[in-house]
Structure 1
Amino acid sequence: MVLVRHANTLTIAVPSGSVNLGSAHPNRTISASLGTVTVVDSRSGIPPWTATVTATNFTTGSGASTYTITKGQAAYWSGPITAQSGTGTRVPGEPTANDTVSLATQQTAFSGRKTSAITQSTSWAPTVVITVPASAVAGTYTGVISHSVA
């Protein structure tokens, strides 16, 4: 007799460290890939999952208004699946650049559901697009883009 135990976990893995978007002049946009994001669903049953993305404001210097690029000036698109294993459905939140959404509020990056008890993994490589406001001062801006899954 073989006893199989399921880890019964739902996890998300994102690249560690920071992403350098480069530089852009005011009234211009800059974009870059955030690297590969992977959701692994080894829960028992076939419950759905949703991965979401949020952002903070991007600031430099004192953080005053001219030193801030608001999260509403950050946009995101998940892109298509880049790798997958296991059976089930997977739906990108923003499959193409034409589907880009503002990060002013939390957005759905990807969703899925297993169709069997086998572990399912889903990967994608999202892109972030930042619009530099006309009032922005020169500087190195930092902010946080976070993914979570439930």
Structure 2
Amino acid sequence: MQPILTITVPTTANLGAVSAGSTHSSQLGTVTVTGSDITDWYVTVTATALSTTGGTISTSDIAYWSGPATAHTGSGKCYPGQGTANQQQVTLNTPRLAFASTGSCGNESCSWNPTLVITVPANAVAGPYTGTITHSAA
């Protein structure tokens, strides 16, 4: 049988309103990876800068914390990229490990609800910002 790996992510998320010069955190929504006949998989996360007319918040100001698994099935182990307090808030200025699964003997699924932490620069332009958070499974 051919190994199959699927990932389900939120299609959109409204992270709320924030004032310039502040830090805001919000959960992104549940991410689920399911593997069939695959022993190990890894999920990386990347981001684009957040932008609005006349303003940008760089990926250096966007941090990610995977947190623990919220659901798990299968015989393998699921490991968060940033599971404990001393590992949280890795900046998304480079691809980061979000989650991994190892040691599965067949079907495995793992879900988590990551937190994004955005540091809004004091000189940020007011307005609705948009950007993309991408989870890639391999």
State the TM-score, normalizing by the size of structure 2.
0.93
Gaps of 5+ in 2: none
Instruction: Return the alpha-carbon distance in structure 2 between the equivalents of residues 136 and 101 of structure 1.
Output: 21
Instruction: Return the alpha-carbon distance in structure 1 between the equivalents of residues 17 and 104 of structure 2.
Output: 44
Matched, 1:142 2:130: yes
Matched, 1:70 2:70: no
**SS of equivalent residue, structure 1 residue 81:** coil
Matched, 1:26 2:20: yes
Match in the other structure for 1:15: 10
97 and 34 in structure 1: CA distance in 2 versus 1, 3 angstrom threshold: farther
What is the percent sequence identity of the aligned residues? 50
Superposition RMSD in Å: 1.4
Matched, 1:60 2:49: no
Matched ranges for 1:1-150 at <5 A: 6=1, 8-16=3-11, 18-44=12-38, 46=39, 48-62=40-54, 67-98=55-86, 99-116=88-105, 118-150=106-138
Instruction: Return the alpha-carbon distance in structure 1 between the equivalents of residues 104 and 10 of structure 2.
Output: 28
> Looking at CA atoms only, which structure, 1 or 2, has the larger radius of gyration?
1
Could you give the per-residue CA deviations for residues 5-28 of structure 1, whole angstroms, max 9, x where no partner exists? x45201111122x21111111110
State the TM-score, normalizing by the size of structure 1.
0.86
Q: How many residues align?
A: 137
- Give the aligned residue type for 2:23: T
1:134 Cα deviation from its structure 2 partner: 1.0
**SS of equivalent residue, structure 1 residue 25:** coil
Q: In the alignment, is the contact (CA less than 8 A) between 1:78 and 1:96 conserved in 2?
A: no
